[in-house]
Every structure is written in structure tokens, then in C-alpha cells.
């Protein structure tokens, strides 16, 4: 029986412990009708309720496989969009707080990408010469743009493999919105840095000379992750002087110098797996989001492994952290009462094109790295 929707302001001042009890009660009432997906960067007091966890590639696959009526995505907006695009038509994708966005995703929007495509046509035929590649950390309309223009989506797990696919289609790549992931992935393929210039969307022709565009292999969008941007090579070098036998592992959203001075570079799933498989007693400096680092530090402590956060200051994904126990309890109680709140619904035409680009990624990235 449906009851009136409950406004969030009744939950905003609840203590966390009370919220945890209400989350548990609502989940019990919903049973298998709801599944909670959590990204690795999610705060611990929400992550504890996850049914399924992972990085963007893993969660993309899981969203497509779940049979739950409601997919409650504790991540950010673009992740809930991917869940809506890949899930079944009768499933509902929900983001507990609509303010949970991604600053990197906001650095590339459809109007700027379309303008870049038009400007590139002054130098060459982009539909013949360039494969557009969007990082999964982007809005659905950019995924749709890639689907329409023969392009594809990538994640930090599969970016190099996706670039290989892209060069199999056309000679150049326009990579957005994260320049660092694109640069490191191109570097791993042996592409010189000078052949990967940065496209500044706020400058005419991206701030590049026509000859630079013609010579380029990858045009890197001027975007970055505000979390990974904080890690600096000085943090790595200082730590190495203190712990010469230690190991450094970084996410490829870090800048090139940090990645180049790391022993290992990879996605969140790769970071977790690498430290898990390492010998007991090893010491690690980790360049990725704080919630994940704290979580794995506790997980591997019994093995005598010491896991340390790279930056000297607190650095977490503040937008993802907006999904708190209060929003999760509010969302689940409304669902238990028959009311859908904060549904994420991508328009059908846009979803269809975006699904083409996402499916190309899923096909090209088999098996999982």
C-alpha cells in the first residue's frame, strides 16, 4: 500500500545511528526489490550497506545484471545514469542525493565537445580521422555523442585497451574529460608526450596550431579530477627517502609525474588487488581517494601491511560524500512506502546512443583487466 512521500527535511537532523537502524528496517521491508551499489570511494557509513561494490567498470557490468526493481546507486550522477542506460526497462535507477556530482565530468559538456568537433573540421574531417573517447566519468549526453560518432567509453581499468580499439577505427583520438588518464594510457602505448597535446575548450581551436592537430595522435581535453590533482611528485619523493623499501601505487587520474614515479599505476580495483596479493609486511603509499585508502589500510592490517595515504592533507571525493546515511534512509523508506524519489532517467534517444558506446566498451574490454 502506497503512503505519502516523506520529505527529506524530516531526516536531515537525524543522528547517524538512528539512520543506520532505519536503513536496516527499510531494506528488510524491501527485500530483493532493491539493490544498493556503492563505489569504492563512498564514505564508510554508507558503504557498509552495499550489496555490490566496485569501480566504474565493475559497477557498470553489475548494474546490467541485477534483477532488482530498484537500483540505489551510492556514487555520483553519471554512475546512476549508466545504471539506467544498462539496466532493464522496468528497473528504476536512483541517486540518493541529486547533488552528488563529479567536478571532472562537469569540465566537459556537450556544447563544448560539439564546438570542438566543429572546430576540428576546419583542419580535418573528424568523422573520418578521430575516434571520440569519453571517460565513464562524464554525462550521458557525451556518451551519446560518442555513440553517434563511432566512439566509445573507457574506464581507468580498460583505458589502454580502449585506445587500442579506437586506433583500430581511426588514426586519432579525442579523449575527454580527464587529460591525465588519457596521457598515461597513451604513454603506456608508446605514444610520445608531444603527440598528445592538450585541447583547451575555452580557446579557439583548443589553443592549438593546425599543424599540431594534424600531427597529434591523442587530443587530451583540459580536464582533471580534483581529488587526484592534489597528489604531487614531491609527496612521493619525500616518502621514498623515509621508506626506501616501500612501494608506491597510484591511480592514473594522478598527474604524469606522480604516475611516472610510482611502482604501480592502475584503477581502484587494480590497487586493491595489487596490495592484497603483495607479500605480508610490505609498506604502501597510495595515491587515490581517502575513503578507499582508509578501508584497505584496515583490511590488510592483519597481514602486517602498512597502507598510507599519499597527500599530507585530507583529500576525499566531497561530492560523492554528499550521499550520507540520512539520504540513504530517506530514499529507502520512501521506496518501502511505494514512493520513488530521485529517479535518474536518461531520455530514450540519448540512452540508446550512449548504450552503443557503452556496449562497445564492454565488448572491447573483455576479459576484465
List, for residues 200-251, the tens digit of each pLDDT value. 999 999 999 999 999 999 999 999 988 888 999 999 999 999 999 999 999 9
- Give every CB contact of residue 278 below 8 A, 6+ residues apart in sequence: 247, 284, 305
- Give the CB-side neighbour count of residue 35, counting CA atoms within 13 A: 20
The residue that leads in pLDDT, 1 or 264, is 264
In the chain, what percentage of residues exceed pLDDT 70? Answer: 96
pLDDT confidence band for 67 (50 / 70 / 90)? confident
In the chain, what percentage of residues exceed pLDDT 90? Answer: 77
pLDDT over threshold 80, residue 330: yes
Residue 205 grid cell = 581551436
pLDDT over threshold 70, residue 1: no
pLDDT confidence band for 54 (50 / 70 / 90)? confident
Question: What mean pLDDT is predicted for residues 342-357?
Answer: 97
Q: Of 62-71, 203-212, 284-293, 354-363, which range is least confident? A: 62-71
pLDDT for residue 368: 45
Is residue 78 within 8 Å of 140, Cβ to Cβ? Answer: yes
Question: What mean pLDDT is predicted for residues 340-350?
Answer: 96
Lay out the sheet containing 306-309: strands in order across.
264-265, 247-250, 283-287, 306-309
Q: Of 57-61, 186-190, 300-304, which range is least confident? A: 57-61
pLDDT for residue 12: 84
**Residue 104: phi, psi to the nearest 5?**
-65, -45
> Residue 121's beta-bridge partner residues?
none
Residue 359 grid cell = 556496449
pLDDT for residue 207: 98
Q: Of 81-85, 114-118, 172-176, 352-356, which range is least confident? A: 81-85
pLDDT for residue 369: 38
pLDDT over threshold 70, residue 367: no
Amino acid at each position: 500500500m502506497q503512503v505519502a512521500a516523506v520529505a527529506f527535511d524530516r531526516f536531515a537532523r537525524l543522528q547517524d545511528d538512528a539512520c543506520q537502524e532505519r536503513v536496516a528496517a527499510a531494506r528488510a521491508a524491501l527485500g530483493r526489490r532493491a539493490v544498493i551499489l556503492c563505489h569504492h570511494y563512498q564514505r564508510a557509513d554508507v558503504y557498509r550497506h552495499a550489496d555490490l561494490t566496485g569501480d566504474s567498470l565493475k559497477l557498470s557490468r553489475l548494474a546490467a545484471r541485477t534483477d532488482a526493481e530498484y537500483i540505489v546507486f551510492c556514487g555520483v550522477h553519471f554512475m546512476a545514469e549508466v545504471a539506467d542506460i544498462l539496466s532493464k526497462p522496468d528497473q528504476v535507477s536512483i541517486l540518493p542525493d541529486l547533488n552528488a556530482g563529479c567536478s571532472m565530468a562537469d569540465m566537459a559538456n556537450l556544447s563544448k565537445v560539439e564546438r570542438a568537433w566543429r572546430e576540428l573540421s576546419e583542419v580535418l574531417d573528424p568523422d573520418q580521422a578521430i575516434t571520440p573517447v569519453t571517460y565513464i566519468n562524464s554525462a550521458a549526453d557525451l556518451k551519446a555523442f560518442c555513440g553517434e560518432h563511432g566512439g566509445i567509453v573507457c574506464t581507468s581499468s580498460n583505458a589502454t585497451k580502449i585506445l587500442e580499439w579506437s586506433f583500430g577505427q581511426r588514426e586519432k583520438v579525442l579523449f575527454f574529460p580527464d587529460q591525465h588518464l588519457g596521457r598515461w594510457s597513451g604513454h603506456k602505448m608508446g605514444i610520445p608526450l608531444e603527440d598528445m597535446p592538450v585541447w583547451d575548450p575555452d580557446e579557439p581551436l583548443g589553443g592549438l596550431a593546425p599543424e599540431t592537430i594534424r600531427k597529434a595522435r591523442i587530443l587530451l581535453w583540459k580536464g582533471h579530477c580534483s581529488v587526484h590533482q592534489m597528489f604531487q611528485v614531491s609527496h612521493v619523493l619525500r616518502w621514498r627517502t623515509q621508506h626506501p623499501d616501500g612501494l608506491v601505487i597510484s591511480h592514473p587520474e594522478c598527474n604524469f609525474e606522480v604516475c611516472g614515479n610510482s611502482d604501480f599505476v592502475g584503477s581502484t580495483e587494480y590497487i586493491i588487488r595489487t596490495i592484497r596479493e603483495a607479500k605480508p609486511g610490505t609498506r604502501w603509499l597510495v595515491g587515490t581517494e581517502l575513503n578507499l585508502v582508509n578501508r584497505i589500510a584496515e583490511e590488510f592490517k592483519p597481514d602486517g601491511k602498512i597502507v598510507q595515504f599519499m597527500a599530507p592533507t585530507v583529500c576525499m571525493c566531497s561530492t560523492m560524500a554528499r550521499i550520507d546515511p540520512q539520504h540513504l534512509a530517506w530514499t529507502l523508506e520512501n521506496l518501502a512506502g511505494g514512493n520513488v524519489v530521485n529517479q535518474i532517467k536518461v531520455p530514450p534517444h540519448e540512452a540508446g546512443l550512449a548504450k552503443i558506446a557503452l556496449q562497445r566498451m564492454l565488448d572491447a574490454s573483455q576479459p576484465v583487466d
